[in-house]
Every structure is written in structure tokens, then in C-alpha cells.
Amino acid sequence: MAEIRASKPNILKELEKIRVRNSKNIGETYSYDELRDMHYLHAAISEALRLYPPVPVDTKACQNNDIMPDGTFVGKGWEVTYHMYGMARMESIWGKNCFEFLPERWIENGVCKQESPFRFPVFQAGPRICLGKDMAYIQMKSIAASVIERFEMEVESKDKAPEHLLALTLRMKGGLPVRLRKRCG
């Protein structure tokens, strides 16, 4: 399983900065602009999606004979499958630390950088890219921010990697039991 670095404190620090700057209380809903300012949280979510893409493989059918950018021929009617889960673990794409959970790889000058969808095809790439990508990020950030600020989470069996359950989407067998403790203050 990917090594999880101490990213939670960084997310908390960022949330606190935005909350204090805007005189908000813990538990208040964050606005769209506030969510957009959460660069570290955006990076942490992107890193989780990189390593555990909800759509881990996808198949396309070729309408006409074609040549891939690397010169590979694909014939009319052939199917080509691309593997987002595998691509996340390729040194040639993400470097030697490709197996590590490292939100910092997304951050440049304090800002979460836009990655090419062809390197990070978790939402697909090209003209048929996911139409709900931005909405998905807003929902994920909004939920993560409100839960992380209010509760401390401890994974029940930290020494055991969750088993994958491959369906149309990638899931965890048995879910991820966690213990929640209300944060004080």
C-alpha cells in the first residue's frame, strides 16, 4: 500500500488559515471561493485519485485504422484499454516515488498545479473528458473539509492494506472502518 505521509496536519493548517481569515466557525459551510483556495486539500485529493482512481481502467473502440503517437497501429474495430491504476505506478510518468502518497508533487509555489489529463487520465482526457470533474472536486473538498475539521480519524486496521474490489469502479472490500473522535476547540 502507498505510504501515507503526514498530510492531515497540512490540510488542517490550510483550513484553519482560510477559516480564520474569513471569520468562520468550525462546521460552517465553505463557499466556492474558499474551496478554490484550498490548494493543499486539492492536491491531497488528486493524489488519492491518482493512486486509487475510481475508474481504474477504461476501454475505447477504434472507429477507423489509426496510429498511436508512439507509432503503434490500431485497426478499425479494435479495442484499446488504458489503465489509470497502472499508470499511477509507472516510474516513467511519476518518477521513482510513484508508489508514495505525496500531495506535494502537485504543489508549485503554494498552488496546486493543473496536470495534463493525458498523464492523469482519472477523469479521462480529450473531447469526452468527464463533464462533472469540477463539480466532483467541489463536492469532495466540501465534504472532506467539514469532516476533517470536526473529527480526528483513525483507521481501524492500519497494519492491513484494504483489499481492492474491482467492479465498474474501484472499491474497498468491506469499506474502510475508521474510529472518529470529535476534535476539541
Of 4, 135, 143, 178, the one binding ligand HEM (CB under 6 A) is: 135
Count other Cβ atoms within 10 Å, centred on residue 142. 18
Contact present, 176 and 154 (Cβ < 8 Å) = no
Query: CB of 52: closest distance to ligand HEM in angstroms?
Result: 10
Return the number of the residue (18 or 49) whose C-beta is nearest ligand HEM. 49
CA distance from start to end of the chain: 33
Segment contacting ligand HEM (CB under 6 A): 6-14, 51-59, 96-104, 112-120? 51-59
103-132: contacts with ligand HEM (CB under 6 A): 122-124, 128, 130-132
**Whole-angstrom Cα distance, residue 126 to residue 121?**
9
Which secondary structure element, helix H or strand E, spans residue 16, and what is its range?
helix 8-21
Length of the chain in terms of residues written: 185
Q: Which is nearer to ligand HEM, 12 or 140 (CB)?
A: 140
Shortest distance, position 131 Cβ to ligand HEM, whole Å: 4
Nearest to 142 by CA among 51, 33, 52: 33
| Shortest separation between residue 87's beta carbon and ligand HEM, angstroms | 13
- Contact flag: residue 136 with ligand HEM (CB under 6 A): yes
Q: Cite the annotated binding site for heme by residue number.
A: 130
